[in-house]
Amino acid sequence: MPRGPLVLAAVGVLLALTATQVTKRIKENSEPSRFDKAFEVLAPNVWRQGYQWANLGGLVGVDVYTFLIKADGKYILIDAGAPTSDAAEVLLKGLDDVMNGSKLQLIMLTHGHPDHSGALAALVKAYPGAQVVFHEEEAPYLLGHKSYKNLPADSLAYKAFVRVLVSENNFTEAVPASKALLLRGKSGDVADVKGPAGNNAQWLPRQGTLKWQHVPGHAPGQVALIHKPSQSMIPGDAVAHMAAKAGGTPEISLPPAGFTWNNTQARLDALKLASLPFSRAYPSHDLGTGISKAELDAFAASLQA
């Protein structure tokens, strides 16, 4: 028998086994009671809502949080949930309950992966006045020109998951270009966001409300946000807080290699975040209620050991 088909079959079996393990691990990590709920208060003017998403025909499941911030009486959503009509419904209902008739002014995306940008189309339709803010290095993916699958990834796991399992069109949710506002550079204040040419910001939180830091290891334009009034950090997927075993205590980890294009940079990102001022960080994938500055410091020290 020629070697080609044998190698392909072996790779297929390996992929199936890996996928089964990952699904098992994620199922063990899922506590249905924590997710699919109303927004919960994390700090004054900061909320989060969890959603349990089964993707790829139920093969892979992801529990993901979306965040809401209120500043000067206006609302900012951070991340846009999973790409299902059910997720959009849960999110819109949750927003309605908290905002009580107010409209979203800004939708910020930590990055464009589908569990962070999924309900974007529904949100943009429900809140036509909202503008969408993300880092300029995420623009090619969010504006629909480029696919994450073609990134020069540094792990075999990424090549297997994103390149093989994810089809060209299903890892990118396009943003209407006329609504886009871009974060540029390494760090800054959301008050300073500018359009692409032609797009003017209609409203931005005032200086000192929301700071951002570029953390590009997981996705090229990923950003972490810090809500200064409450010292809450929203790191996106720069760190995760999941349990290694069923019923185990949640532990801080780097984002999974299978969905992280540059794992060398992801390690540097975690060190960078630990160096910033904040009191509690709320990862998008979290089986607890965030992590303290001291816990992130200890994790950073373990990465350097």
**Of positions 178, 202, 264, 275, contacts ligand NAG by CB under 6 A:** 264
In the complex, minimum distance from the CB of residue 287 to ligand NAG, in angstroms, rounded to a whole number: 26
From 207-215, 232-240, 241-249, 259-267, span contacting ligand NAG (CB under 6 A): 259-267
How far is 84 from 90, CA to CA, in rounded Å? Answer: 10
Select 191 or 276, whichever has its Cβ closest to ligand NAG. Answer: 276
Q: Tokens 């830091």 map to which residue?
A: 213
Assign 249 to helix, strand or coil. Answer: coil
Ranges assigned E (strand) in the chain: 40-43, 46-55, 60-71, 74-78, 104-108, 131-135, 180-183, 187-189, 210-214, 223-227, 232-234, 240-243, 250-253, 280-281, 291-292
| Number of residues this chain uses to bind ligand NAG (CB under 6 A) | 10
Select 58 or 152, whichever has its Cβ closest to ligand NAG. Answer: 152
Tell me how far CA of residue 122 lies from CA of 86, 89, 195, 301, in angstroms: 11, 9, 22, 42
Is 169 an interacting residue with respect to ligand NAG (CB under 6 A)?
Answer: yes
Assign 40 to helix, strand or coil. Answer: strand
In the complex, minimum distance from the CB of residue 262 to ligand NAG, in angstroms, rounded to a whole number: 4
From 6-14, 33-41, 124-132, 262-270, span contacting ligand NAG (CB under 6 A): 262-270
In the complex, minimum distance from the CB of residue 100 to ligand NAG, in angstroms, rounded to a whole number: 4
Tell me how far CA of residue 118 lies from CA of 5, 15, 32, in angstroms: 37, 25, 20
Letters for 178-207 (x = contact with ligand NAG by CB under 6 A, - = none) are ------------------------------
**Of positions 155, 199, 265, 279, contacts ligand NAG by CB under 6 A:** 265
Assign 37 to helix, strand or coil. Answer: coil
Q: Which residues bind ligand NAG (CB under 6 A)?
A: 83, 100-101, 152, 169-170, 262, 264-265, 268
